[in-house]
Structure 1
Amino acid sequence: MVTKERRPTPDDIPPQQLDYPASQADMTPQPDSDLSNYSPAGKLKGKVAFITGADSGIGRAVAIAYAMEGAEVAIFYNVNDGDAEETKKMVKDIGNKDCLIIKGDVRNYEDCESAIAQVVERFGKLNILINNAAYQMVQKKFEDITLEQFRRTMETNVFGYFYMVKAALPHLEEGDVIINTGSIVGKMGKNFLVDYATSKGAVHTFTKSLALNLGDRGIRVNSVVPGPVWTPNIPATMTAKQVDNYDSDGIIKRTAQPEELAPAYVFLGSSDSSFVTGALYDVTGGQLSA
């Protein structure tokens, strides 16, 4: 395995704007999601994990990391067939595991139920649910956030998480895990992502409340809270000017690459985090909320 000598800095990211939903293959530079800097240790052997929004970005990196750690992996995606097939190939080539790919929409409860049923039918169980699918769209003026956009943001980022938990919970047992993807903007707010930041704040509260609710059953619930990450959502939802030299607001002065988030999901999905529940696990590059 070849370790990368350096991570892309803001200077390496040129202005660009892609149609939504963007394909990871069209981004410049390509996000690092091949886990070439990761050393697995068999932390998830015998586990079955289901990851939403895993055709690209953070979800893809997590799928590969989980396969490398020995888990059986299924992913859920909405549009980009090519990206989903590439994730499946990478899980096989890098993680030495087959990957079940399921197409659907987290905003539709029937799709969520069907996806969970397919995972259980294929692997016989479900141990780790990772809610990662998300929608965002930049609007500088509050008046430009349409009712349709607000509804889509909430239905994807909040309803979708609730739906997946609702569908998965009958199959989860003591020792199993739910991991949600939050965002630092859900803690600190963001002027041009009002609806998205609001939805991620809801995810954080959902995580804590669900952890309290499921504690007696021995099911742990946590949330990874990323800062800026170089994923297809960035050039697909921001202006070319905003993408130019993206993003240097944190202490580390650059955006994260997807594979830098994956170890946090491994930790929270494994027995290493057996005493962690109801946590908002920041991976922000030093973007501080308070």
Structure 2
Amino acid sequence: MPGPEAVERPVELEAFMAELRHLRERAGEPSFRRMAAKSGAVSHATLHLTVTGHRLQPWETVREFVRACEGDESEWHARWQEVSRALSHSREQADADAGADADAGTEAETAAADHADTEDAPGSTRPWWRSRWLVVLAPAAVVAVLAVVAFRITSADGTESADPQAMVYEGDASKFIRDVTYPDGTVVEPDSQFVKIWEIRNTGSVEWRNRYLQRIDLPIGPEDCATPERIPINHTFPRQSVQITVTVRTPSKTPVDCKVRWKMVDSSGRVLMPGYRPLYFEVRVRK
């Protein structure tokens, strides 16, 4: 029987990984550690996930895999984009199917609606006090809902919308998913290099094209972690997740704590979601 990976992976992703494995074979099948050493930007474990994981890795990772195997970057980038679009289309179709199922409603919801209709029907025997309590409690419920909305606005995390009116593009939205590498509080060596990867999701209705993360705590000092000022975000469709990679150099001084913050911008440097809190990473530099 096929293993769980063969069952769970989309066909497009499985075919793409098979092509990458074939590229590695043609390059003499170097070890992933040797490939990581040749790349200098990603770990051997990340390269291994490129051909064994359950999701399409970001182009930055695939590019390092291709470079280590001396493949044609432009050719592989075109293949990667094609697979990314196909996977996005499959996810959109799955979401649409799920939405259709949700519209049908559950038996419990239908029963509840029927029950409500029965209670409101002429000649029903609903106790008089229920209507009075509804009148009394309705204003309180409205106040409670407004309080919840206000709390979400003031206490949203790094990538959840704080104020929809502040969006440059109507329908733009983002959500932080996870730290793929180096979660906050990780201890790292001084004067060393590591690769930070986040995963975020396009939860809005706007495609992300030509977008970047712009570092906002500039200029940097001798006790700060050094990074590029701007890092690219791959083209991301609505409801699609994307991984963003940045190479970080730690300061030689220790002990210090590095916290680097970023905002999503367009090619002109315009902040696209000013109502959002920054995306960031935080590491502890220790010997």
| Greater C-alpha Rg | 2
Relative to its length, the structure with more strand (as a share) is: 2
Instruction: Establish whether TM, by shorter chain, passes 0.5.
Output: no
Give the TM-score range, shorter chain: under 0.3
Scaled by the length of structure 2, the TM-score of the pair is 0.22
Identify which of structures 1 and 2 has the higher relative contact order when contacts are C-alpha pairs closer than 8 Å and 6+ apart: 1
Give the TM-score of the pair, scaled to structure 1. Answer: 0.22
